Structure 1
């Protein structure tokens, strides 16, 4: 069954009317009288992390940031809960014959939360500002964007410097800001007092603590059902689950090994396959790992199926591609090298490996549930075939900074890539074509990433197949598994997890 948010249904003109008696709503984490129909509806989400940079959608492109931006702002297009692109600020979009130009038609009834109309000029300003902001995370996803223009108030034209068939997916990730406000405040000022056009408006932000929004009663897509939305930063897994059990949180991501405890505590567990791949990154230009045979030995040494079954309690699917099965670009019948310890040992011998220590860096908590246990299991597999591993755990922010430098990581690192656009171009570019995680430095993979942008349909899948096979051979990245995202949820909350793992709370509600 396809679950779409009420926001999307309204966009498509298919919202169902409520009939019968009015729904009696009850507050949960807000602590109000559950029996009162006028009780404030205060929803608190326990999130793993907050934006790594300033929470400005021009600058920051972190998954933590998107949780905020998808509720505070609008984008030209939007992904439904199953990852399909739907209209949002744009009602339609068309390419030219070679995908080098895209024309978007905008709605004419959208206002920012300060009452000013949203026009094509605001869209042009947003994208041009990204293009002229060297430290913008989003710039890496728009390297093909040459210019953007507005022939009139409701039309936006994107001109690209090369063919790019998945361009509409990029527009799901970029929030639109008001030119007048952003220009007056600047990035830092706007992050402290943002104005969007989304279903919720800004209330407060306490670094390291929470980010609070309130219902936008004038939202063009219809006002949300809840009054206040709080994203509370809770990096510790046990604290998130205990928060939902105690009632201080309403929804929180939990680890695979917490599911049984959660189910026995009276809270709901809601799950769905995630859109990312957890992988073992390799600096293929440093030390012993510069030898392809040693990288291939690392691949053969790891038993993905056993890792999923034992460490993750079966709440994941082994995956040997950097793209998850529900993301555009996944190749259903491409299979990588299998678990083969004997082959790993033979490769090490052929490479003349003499036991040099190889660091394996990972976050002790953060994006990857049970990351420490996963890292320890991997180290065990590698040591079993004769690879000396030095484990190094650190906080998520430190690990991310080291990875993104593309020079600090000297060996192996545990990471994950979950494209918010639900398209494989993002992880492919990031890992294989000069992106923030590109330790492959491979002209072959970079060329394939460029080629997949010029074609669509089956032709594009064929290029992704070639990219997967190039990684099978070169072992630049060792994919491990696609996790199942599990959430502890108050039974009083009506909410369905999204395939991209993000929180769009425009249709969340409390039930009586």
Structure 2
């Protein structure tokens, strides 16, 4: 206990110093690209990291926005989702994909001036492996050990073949061993040090996360002086913030696009990389019956949901991965919208109208989540399924999902793999992750198999996984959204296929 307290005191001392720097910055900066200083950028984000913002522990999409600016990863996805070099300049597998060797670039330093070495990379991954509550363990189950034979070489030893390993390395940020060991997780989250294009200034839970330009960045100093991620969960507040100039960039809802286009701000759009779905506790009440889960699938008209509720700014999807993500099987087709079939299945199951809860976030990760939940409840009611709607804030819903014991029925959720590879959602949904209630040996075996093969054989395994879900309805996929952003005309920025904000290359007009 004494050791932990001393670590926290050191972290708080560092935060106090950095907060002073933040005040100095704010004294000379307007906080927005629309202010008198055109080199500050404020982004309205829908959520903040659900856990402490430590990249060893937290793997939330909200967290990645911060980590991709503050830290570096071995590899990086370009705007179109193709893996490119970052800290690593090359990588090579052995014959059966059980060992991968990465070569690091020269001349990379952390923001405290210390050189980044292969031992820091090995430390980062080994620490994840030995942190039981790390979100990242969910997609590193195949990793056995990491070694650094010299300062520029990292060797990953896997416990089974895993052909898409380079995609995993796009998601894990590298921390300095010396600093992380001194501060521990809690202290490091309060005063992080990375090697990325921006360095830490301050963090206020529920308010904002502020960074400043790293002039010594190996990839070249960004054009942004101060970068602020401001937490704005309300959809209207995000759009109004961009219109008023208090925000420069924010995700907006499909039904806000027309208003945004008429307000003088830019709207920039791109198909997203995720699937919005109905999660199901398939061990609870009537949902334990496969026929009732199948009836739910048949009851929902995905195409009409997209057209009416989402103003056509999405694509109906019955798979757990989007069409632009590795693992999507274009020739696999799920059960059709068929209310008559749904009613027949309910009658065969002997369903007598027992209420099934449907939980959703009233604002946050899924735009128009309340309207989507209400529409789904309407479809289910039309075939005779009684639904009790339960709206809550995003943090509460996330806690229910992570705990699993609190989720009693249906819930609205989304999975967008930052790696642009289907392994992450497949693991989470069908191989023991937080959304896997069924714990089906058959789906877990398919998830394991796709890791051992590549090319057409791997795609065929994902097709089999999709078909297994068509039969069992463990998860009911709904649609892949189009990501729409309101953007200040002064900001030159293009949406990325992975939905994350990588901002080192942003410039300003004028």
Q: TM-score, normalised by structure 1?
A: 0.93
**Per-residue deviation at 1:31?**
5.8
Inter-partner Cα distance in structure 1 for 2:500 and 2:34: 25
Q: Is the 8 A contact 1:431 1:440 kept in 2?
A: no
Inter-partner Cα distance in structure 1 for 2:35 and 2:288: 60
Inter-partner Cα distance in structure 2 for 1:400 and 1:448: 27
Inter-partner Cα distance in structure 1 for 2:437 and 2:81: 29
Match for residue 494 of structure 1 among 454, 479, 492: 492
Match for residue 29 of structure 1 among 20, 26, 32: 32
Inter-partner Cα distance in structure 1 for 2:94 and 2:63: 32
Equivalent residue, structure 1, for 2:154? 156
Q: Is the 8 A contact 1:141 1:426 kept in 2?
A: yes
Measured against aligned partners, the alpha-carbon deviations of 1:76-102 in whole angstroms (never above 9, x if no partner) come to: 000111111100000011111111111
Match for residue 368 of structure 2 among 367, 370, 387: 370
Point out where structure 1 has 5 or more consecutive residues left out of the alignment. Answer: 1-25, 34-38
Equivalent residue, structure 1, for 2:8? none
Equivalent residue, structure 1, for 2:166? 168
Number of residue pairs matched by the alignment: 482
Give the direction of change, closer, same or farther, for the CA distance of 1:186–1:28 in structure 2 (3 Å limit). Answer: closer
Q: Is the 8 A contact 2:294 2:472 kept in 1?
A: yes
Aligned residue for 1:485, secondary structure, equals strand
Aligned ranges 1:98-497 → 2 under 5 Å: 98-497=96-495
Q: Is the 8 A contact 2:34 2:490 kept in 1?
A: no
Give the direction of change, closer, same or farther, for the CA distance of 1:391–1:50 in structure 2 (3 Å limit). Answer: same
User: Is 1:87 the equivalent of 2:90?
Assistant: no
**Per-residue deviation at 1:407?**
2.1
Aligned residue for 1:450, secondary structure, equals helix
Q: Is the 8 A contact 2:121 2:174 kept in 1?
A: yes
Measured against aligned partners, the alpha-carbon deviations of 1:464-485 in whole angstroms (never above 9, x if no partner) come to: 0000000000011110000000
Q: Is the 8 A contact 2:275 2:321 kept in 1?
A: yes
Equivalent residue, structure 2, for 1:504? 502
**Per-residue deviation at 1:40?**
5.5
Inter-partner Cα distance in structure 2 for 1:440 and 1:314: 33
Q: Is the 8 A contact 2:34 2:248 kept in 1?
A: no
**Per-residue deviation at 1:32?**
4.4
Q: Is the 8 A contact 1:216 1:224 kept in 2?
A: yes
Q: Is the 8 A contact 2:42 2:227 kept in 1?
A: yes
**Per-residue deviation at 1:144?**
1.1
Aligned residue for 2:486, secondary structure, equals strand
**Per-residue deviation at 1:440?**
2.3
Give the direction of change, closer, same or farther, for the CA distance of 1:465–1:377 in structure 2 (3 Å limit). Answer: same
Aligned residue for 2:353, secondary structure, equals coil
Equivalent residue, structure 2, for 1:57? 55
Point out where structure 2 has 5 or more consecutive residues left out of the alignment. Answer: 1-28
Inter-partner Cα distance in structure 1 for 2:312 and 2:474: 26
Inter-partner Cα distance in structure 2 for 1:476 and 1:139: 23
Deviates more, 1:401-410 or 1:309-318: 401-410
Choose between structure 1 and 2: higher helix proportion.
2
**Per-residue deviation at 1:30?**
5.1
Q: Is the 8 A contact 2:33 2:490 kept in 1?
A: no
Inter-partner Cα distance in structure 1 for 2:438 and 2:496: 31
Aligned residue for 1:174, secondary structure, equals coil
Inter-partner Cα distance in structure 2 for 1:218 and 1:195: 13
Q: Is the 8 A contact 2:35 2:245 kept in 1?
A: no
**Per-residue deviation at 1:406?**
2.1
Inter-partner Cα distance in structure 2 for 1:316 and 1:63: 20
Aligned residue for 1:86, secondary structure, equals strand
Aligned residue for 1:479, secondary structure, equals strand
Inter-partner Cα distance in structure 2 for 1:126 and 1:267: 41
Give the ranges of 4+ consecutive aligned residues of structure 1 lying more than 2 Å apart after TM superposition.
Answer: 30-33
Inter-partner Cα distance in structure 1 for 2:240 and 2:333: 40
Q: TM-score, normalised by structure 2?
A: 0.93
Aligned residue for 1:257, secondary structure, equals helix
Measured against aligned partners, the alpha-carbon deviations of 1:348-385 in whole angstroms (never above 9, x if no partner) come to: 01111111111111111110000000000000000000
Q: Is the 8 A contact 1:28 1:250 kept in 2?
A: no
